A and B are shown apart, each in its own frame.
Chain A
């Protein structure tokens, strides 16, 4: 395979380079903060390093344990994961939020942990049919632990619930995450078909009896405390009064959908609702929120054969269309785009997408500075650059969906030079058209 050859060529250098870069970036961030705040290394900076390290380890784990896009040999997996580390670490959209000590890095870490654990759970049981009988006979959780299969699914759902608590918009990732847990993260884009449960779920009744009950009960417990608290919120019994506070706390989480703060951010919501008259505000808030929800079902249905890909696309949609996007949302989308490397040959316009993103990313800080600090620009300058950023996000999403579907048509075809224009072989009389 041509890609693995390339990987082997740079594997050693990549490892070394990766560690060097990591060390240098940590030093850079520490020294920058030292210069700006003229303080010794404080707890905050240690936290920054901890965050980046955490993300890095998760990414490493994620890459190594095989999001399973290809069935590769172990060396190429190693070097590929190093490549992933480099690209994720070097991504300025990831570096800048962690330098700014933003909590969006933590959001990313939590989400990546959830995906990683879901992949672990799925891949750990795939090649072990011998466990099937024992699972059926012993439905308790402790037996699973005895069989050295830790409850990764519960961990994945726990982290996803945590991510939803951090920002309510991650709710759209819940259905594909469930689908990922029940199936495998191995890339089946080339073989689209109906949703298949993983091998361990071949007997649907066992599935209903054990895992589904445990897993969904856990997730419902995390976010479903609002159900309990909803019923008891007016109660005067002290124990139940806790439910009322919990209900208020959980309802406060949806506050971000009413857009209380109109601070400029690289998204499309803030200026729209700045210029909105009060009469129309509730209607458009509802429209924008529902708009986000509309993408979940079609994408999950269309990509039911590869739920990891649907998570990837929904992350892209979140990055573009959520109420308070941050740079690290776009950074995560770009990072995952690198992971899905088998669709790269089928992208129609990767270069314009990247250039538009670059264009918008370079212009946004400039125009924000002109408007707010310098006083010579207008709010419209920055708004235009965020529109360009939304276009870039849209281009990326559409291209990814197209490539994910396109790859299924060309079966077993290997690209030698992925970035060159495809040449039709004379012997092959097939041409793809719509």
Chain B
């Protein structure tokens, strides 16, 4: 009797325990591709899926306690941050370098803006405002990643809803969701950001594809970036950590060959796949022309990609591609452009009080293309919207720009948000110019290296697609450097002295004359003759 009741009790206990524990899955993925100019782009993607989980309703933030969360694979620190501020969707990228769209094509993850970029969708309805939660999120992520994300304050935060739509789903709580986006173009990424990043992985960097993440090689690459994406999918909450880099094997090879392998790129090999990963795959894009050899033998080849499954054999994996001949740099342009349009942005003008913002967009296709152009400019650059001129192949055509939406900048507190839709006829060159004025900052607002200038965040171009082709994503322009007029930093005391002296002189003289009493004095005649 006691035994059966104990067995029943244990079964119930286990079943209750099983119901409480959600299923978590971890997948890791690496895709490698050789580019035309001899470089290799590698894109690591680590996905943790928390099944049947949902973002926290912000109305529950009023209650101080939350349901206890038990994770095995899902990173606990990140989960705590997400629930503390009731974040529905989060994207954070830390990149360095300029992504060359014409030579390298589209990246696997579209967030390649230089510096730090953080954007999040949050629902309203909690006792604290969205801006307060946004600030808490920034500070928490700054602590988690050892990055100075706390400087993404209100002077860099905008809300461009059209250009950054949610990539996952938004829960249907009947509450309005708002976007907060901030970017800091002069933020650097280095090892101290990578280390806490790797700590969010279940296997850390001990096994699996994360063993390839050698900081010496990652931060030596021509372009490198790490990213964190949290989405809500129908299956549950997904956290995706990705590392992208563009390495140059020609630079480190002694011979003039573009051969690459794990050992040559990362100076490491994958000894063991992550035991708890559901899948651990490597995809190598096979070059379209020429003689080459991919080693070891791939598991399957499909659609021009060679797939490897690292969980099959427990040997040290050193995947690579070899070419028999030396590399020849292609001097001619490719027949078909890798991206449908390319953008160049520059800030013209040699004076320190005004300039001209100039965007040149080239449409490589033959059909008309519509782009949404987003500019989140700090308040130090003030736009003159009435000077917008759009030239198509040299001819002034101001009707090619439409749907201009502009949020005014507020000095010392809010950047300008400028969104418009540009229409590019097939095969044409569109030039957009606008006069801007540069602001004058206070003594304490200038950074310590004031003569370097200020980094302006990249502009974002999003194609508006007629068809449901989701392969084309956002394009980021490089950041700009603007030189602002500086006061003389050695002279605060002198300036205050001079100005106060002049003002006191005026004050004193005025009141001196005002309070004088004019008196007529009679002089003796002899004194006049002496004078």
Task: Answer yes or no: B485 CB below 8 A from chain A CBs.
Answer: yes
Task: Answer yes or no: A261 CB below 8 A from chain B CBs.
Answer: yes
Interface residues of A in 375-434 (CB under 8 A from B): 375, 378-380, 383, 387, 390-391, 393-394, 397-398, 401-402, 405-406, 408-409, 424, 426, 429-434
Interface residues of A in 93-149 (CB under 8 A from B): none
Determine the residue in chain A with the shortest Cβ distance to B529. Answer: A426
Contact residues on B (Cβ < 8 Å of other chain), bracket = 35 or more
A180, B376: Cα distance in complex, Å = 52
- Total contacts A to B, CB within 8 angstroms? 128
Chain B, residues 501-514, CB within 8 Å of chain A (1/0): the string is 01101110111011
Closest-CB distance, B437 to chain A (whole angstroms): 8
- Inter-chain contact A378/B488, CB cutoff 8 Å: yes
Closest-CB distance, B187 to chain A (whole angstroms): 24
Given contacts A298-B514, A320-B506, A391-B502, is CB(A276)–CB(B351) below 8 Å?
Answer: no
Task: Answer yes or no: A291 CB below 8 A from chain B CBs.
Answer: yes
Determine the residue in chain A with the shortest Cβ distance to B505. Answer: A394
A318, B516: Cα distance in complex, Å = 23
Task: Answer yes or no: A260 CB below 8 A from chain B CBs.
Answer: yes
Closest-CB distance, A360 to chain B (whole angstroms): 12
Name the one of B491, B507, B522, B528 contacting A424, with C-beta atoms under 8 angstroms. Answer: B528
Interface residues of A in 265-297 (CB under 8 A from B): 268, 270-278, 291, 294-295
Interface residues of B in 345-402 (CB under 8 A from A): 350-353
A261, B352: Cα distance in complex, Å = 16
Q: For A375, what are the chain B residues with a Cβ–Cβ distance below 8 Å?
A: 350, 352
Task: Answer yes or no: B499 CB below 8 A from chain A CBs.
Answer: yes
- Inter-chain contact B351/A271, CB cutoff 8 Å: no
Interface residues of B in 488-531 (CB under 8 A from A): 488, 491-492, 495-496, 498-499, 502-503, 505-507, 509-511, 513-514, 516, 518-523, 525, 528
- Inter-chain contact A372/B509, CB cutoff 8 Å: no
Q: For B510, what are the chain A residues with a Cβ–Cβ distance below 8 Å?
A: 295, 317, 394, 397-398, 401
Task: Answer yes or no: A30 CB below 8 A from chain B CBs.
Answer: no
B496, B513, B522, B525 pick with most chain A CB within 10 angstroms: B513
A245, B525: Cα distance in complex, Å = 73
Name the one of A263, A408, A433 contacting B440, with C-beta atoms under 8 angstroms. Answer: A263
Chain A, residues 60-77, CB within 8 Å of chain B (1/0): the string is 000000000000000000
Closest-CB distance, B444 to chain A (whole angstroms): 5
Task: Answer yes or no: A302 CB below 8 A from chain B CBs.
Answer: yes
Task: Answer yes or no: A207 CB below 8 A from chain B CBs.
Answer: no
B441, B487, B507 pick with most chain A CB within 10 angstroms: B487
Task: Answer yes or no: A354 CB below 8 A from chain B CBs.
Answer: no
- Inter-chain contact A321/B506, CB cutoff 8 Å: yes
Chain B, residues 441-465, CB within 8 Å of chain A (1/0): the string is 1111000000000000000000000
- Inter-chain contact B411/A275, CB cutoff 8 Å: no
A302, B488: Cα distance in complex, Å = 42
Task: Answer yes or no: A371 CB below 8 A from chain B CBs.
Answer: yes
- Inter-chain contact B495/A431, CB cutoff 8 Å: no
Given contacts A302-B514, A379-B486, A405-B513, is CB(A271)–CB(B443) below 8 Å?
Answer: no
Name the one of B352, B495, B525 contacting A275, with C-beta atoms under 8 angstroms. Answer: B495
Closest-CB distance, A292 to chain B (whole angstroms): 11
Q: For A302, what are the chain B residues with a Cβ–Cβ distance below 8 Å?
A: 514
Determine the residue in chain A with the shortest Cβ distance to B527. Answer: A431
Interface residues of B in 284-304 (CB under 8 A from A): none
Q: For B498, what are the chain A residues with a Cβ–Cβ distance below 8 Å?
A: 387
Q: For B199, what are the chain A residues with a Cβ–Cβ distance below 8 Å?
A: none
Closest-CB distance, B436 to chain A (whole angstroms): 14
Given contacts A371-B485, A424-B528, A430-B522, is CB(A277)–CB(B502) below 8 Å?
Answer: no
- Inter-chain contact B506/A398, CB cutoff 8 Å: yes
A231, B376: Cα distance in complex, Å = 39
Closest-CB distance, B448 to chain A (whole angstroms): 15
Closest-CB distance, A176 to chain B (whole angstroms): 15
Name the one of A320, A398, A406 contacting B518, with C-beta atoms under 8 angstroms. Answer: A406
Closest-CB distance, A56 to chain B (whole angstroms): 29
Q: For A371, what are the chain B residues with a Cβ–Cβ distance below 8 Å?
A: 352, 485
Task: Answer yes or no: B70 CB below 8 A from chain A CBs.
Answer: no
Name the one of B353, B439, B495, B525 contacting A271, with C-beta atoms under 8 angstroms. Answer: B495
Closest-CB distance, A296 to chain B (whole angstroms): 12
Closest-CB distance, B302 to chain A (whole angstroms): 60
Name the one of B352, B411, B506, B528 contacting A429, with C-beta atoms under 8 angstroms. Answer: B528
Determine the residue in chain B with the shortest Cβ distance to A369. Answer: B351
Task: Answer yes or no: A262 CB below 8 A from chain B CBs.
Answer: yes
A291, B506: Cα distance in complex, Å = 11
Closest-CB distance, B358 to chain A (whole angstroms): 19
Task: Answer yes or no: A373 CB below 8 A from chain B CBs.
Answer: yes
Determine the residue in chain B with the shortest Cβ distance to A378. Answer: B488
Q: For A260, what are the chain B residues with a Cβ–Cβ distance below 8 Å?
A: 411-412
Determine the residue in chain A with the shortest Cβ distance to B441. Answer: A262
Determine the residue in chain A with the shortest Cβ distance to B501. Answer: A387
How many residues from A make CB contacts under 8 Å with B? 53
Q: For B444, what are the chain A residues with a Cβ–Cβ distance below 8 Å?
A: 277-278
Determine the residue in chain B with the shortest Cβ distance to A403. Answer: B513
Q: For A409, what are the chain B residues with a Cβ–Cβ distance below 8 Å?
A: 518, 520
Task: Answer yes or no: A250 CB below 8 A from chain B CBs.
Answer: no
A299, B514: Cα distance in complex, Å = 8
- Inter-chain contact B519/A429, CB cutoff 8 Å: no
Q: For B411, what are the chain A residues with a Cβ–Cβ distance below 8 Å?
A: 260-261
Q: For B511, what are the chain A residues with a Cβ–Cβ distance below 8 Å?
A: 298
Closest-CB distance, A35 to chain B (whole angstroms): 19
- Inter-chain contact B443/A431, CB cutoff 8 Å: no
Name the one of B487, B516, B519 contacting A274, with C-beta atoms under 8 angstroms. Answer: B487
A14, B120: Cα distance in complex, Å = 72
- Inter-chain contact A262/B440, CB cutoff 8 Å: yes
Closest-CB distance, A228 to chain B (whole angstroms): 28
Q: For B520, what are the chain A residues with a Cβ–Cβ distance below 8 Å?
A: 409, 430, 432
A264, A275, A302 pick with most chain B CB within 10 angstroms: A275
Chain A, residues 304-315, CB within 8 Å of chain B (1/0): the string is 000000000000
Given contacts A262-B441, A268-B499, is CB(A291)–CB(B507) below 8 Å?
Answer: yes
Given contacts A408-B518, A432-B518, is CB(A275)–CB(B496) below 8 Å?
Answer: yes
A273, B441: Cα distance in complex, Å = 10
Closest-CB distance, B414 to chain A (whole angstroms): 13
Determine the residue in chain A with the shortest Cβ distance to B522. Answer: A429
Q: For A272, what are the chain B residues with a Cβ–Cβ distance below 8 Å?
A: 495-496, 499
- Inter-chain contact B521/A433, CB cutoff 8 Å: yes
- Inter-chain contact A394/B506, CB cutoff 8 Å: yes
Q: For B513, what are the chain A residues with a Cβ–Cβ distance below 8 Å?
A: 398, 401-402, 405
A405, B518: Cα distance in complex, Å = 8
Closest-CB distance, B473 to chain A (whole angstroms): 39
Name the one of A298, A373, A434 contacting B516, with C-beta atoms under 8 angstroms. Answer: A434
- Inter-chain contact B503/A398, CB cutoff 8 Å: no
A394, B440: Cα distance in complex, Å = 27
Name the one of A278, A372, A390, A406 contacting B352, with C-beta atoms under 8 angstroms. Answer: A372
- Inter-chain contact B441/A271, CB cutoff 8 Å: no
A274, B499: Cα distance in complex, Å = 12
Name the one of B350, B353, B443, B502 contacting A390, with C-beta atoms under 8 angstroms. Answer: B502
- Inter-chain contact A429/B525, CB cutoff 8 Å: yes
Determine the residue in chain B with the shortest Cβ distance to A428. Answer: B528
Closest-CB distance, B25 to chain A (whole angstroms): 52
Q: For A261, what are the chain B residues with a Cβ–Cβ distance below 8 Å?
A: 411, 439-440
A431, B351: Cα distance in complex, Å = 58
Closest A-B pairs by Cβ, 6 of them: A394-B506, A275-B492, A262-B440, A398-B509, A275-B495, A272-B499
9 sampled A-B residue pairs with Cβ under 8 A: A261-B411, A274-B487, A277-B444, A291-B507, A298-B511, A390-B503, A402-B513, A430-B520, A432-B520
Interface residues in chain A, defined as those with a beta carbon under 8 Å from any beta carbon in chain B: 260-264, 268, 270-278, 291, 294-295, 298-299, 302, 317, 320-321, 371-373, 375, 378-380, 383, 387, 390-391, 393-394, 397-398, 401-402, 405-406, 408-409, 424, 426, 429-434
Interface residues in chain B, defined as those with a beta carbon under 8 Å from any beta carbon in chain A: 350-353, 411-412, 439-444, 485-488, 491-492, 495-496, 498-499, 502-503, 505-507, 509-511, 513-514, 516, 518-523, 525, 528
